[in-house]
Amino acid sequence: MPTWLSAATSAVTRLNRAIFHLTVWLMAIVVPVMLYEVVLRYLFNDPTVWAMELAVLLFGPYFLLGGPYLLHLRGHVSLDLVRQRLNAVWQRRMDLVNFPVIILFCAILIYFSWPSAWSAWQYRETSFSAWNPPIWPAKAVVPLSLVLMLLQALVELCRVIYRTDSEPVTNEVPQA
C-alpha cells in the first residue's frame, strides 16, 4: 500500500476509534438516567417526562457512531459459519464484494438522510413532547455516522486490495 494511502487509512481508523471510545461514555449518562426513572416510576409511582426520551436521544448516537469502528473490528453480524469454511482466497473475494456493497449502501443512506438532518438543523427541530428537547443533534448524527462508516468501508476495501492472499486479516491500526 502506498505510504500516503496507508497514512490516510490509519487516520480514518484512528478517528473512528476515538469516536467509538467517546461514545461509550454516553452509556455513563443513559444508565443512571434509566435507573433514576425506574426508581421513581416503580417505587414512588412518579415517572419523569424526560428520562426515556433522553435515553432514546443518546442511544441513537451511541449505536450509530460506534458502528464504523466496529466495522474495522469485524464485529458486525456476518455469515461466519459460511466464511470460516472458506479458504483465504475466497474470503478475500467475499470482502471484495462486501465492502463495495457497504459503500454503496452508505452513499444511498447519506443521500436520503442529509436533507432531513439539514432541515432539522435549520429549523432547530424539537420533539414536540412534554419535555420538548432539541432533536436536530440526533438527526445530524445519522449522516455523520454514515460518512464515517463509508470512509471506514473504503479503508477496509483498500486493506483487502493491498493484502496478498497469504496475509492474515488483521484489524490492528499501524502506529504512526
DSSP-assigned states of every residue in 34-57: HHHHHHHHHHSS---SSHHHHHHH
As a whole number of angstroms, the distance between CA 51 and CA 148 comes to 29
E strand or H helix that includes residue 115: helix 88-122
As a whole number of angstroms, the distance between CA 114 and CA 122 comes to 12
Residues whose CB falls within 8 Å of the CB of residue 23, separated by 6 or more in sequence, listed in order: 61, 62, 65, 66
Residue 134 sits at φ, ψ, to 5 deg, of -70, 135
pTM (2 d.p.):
0.85
Would you write out the chain's pLDDT as a tens digit for each of its 176 residues? 899 999 999 999 999 999 999 999 999 999 999 999 999 999 999 999 999 999 999 999 999 999 999 999 988 777 677 878 888 888 899 899 999 999 999 999 999 999 999 999 999 999 989 999 999 999 999 999 999 999 999 999 999 999 865 555 555 554 44
As a whole number of angstroms, the distance between CA 128 and CA 49 comes to 12
SS3 171: coil
169 alpha-carbon distance from chain centroid: 21
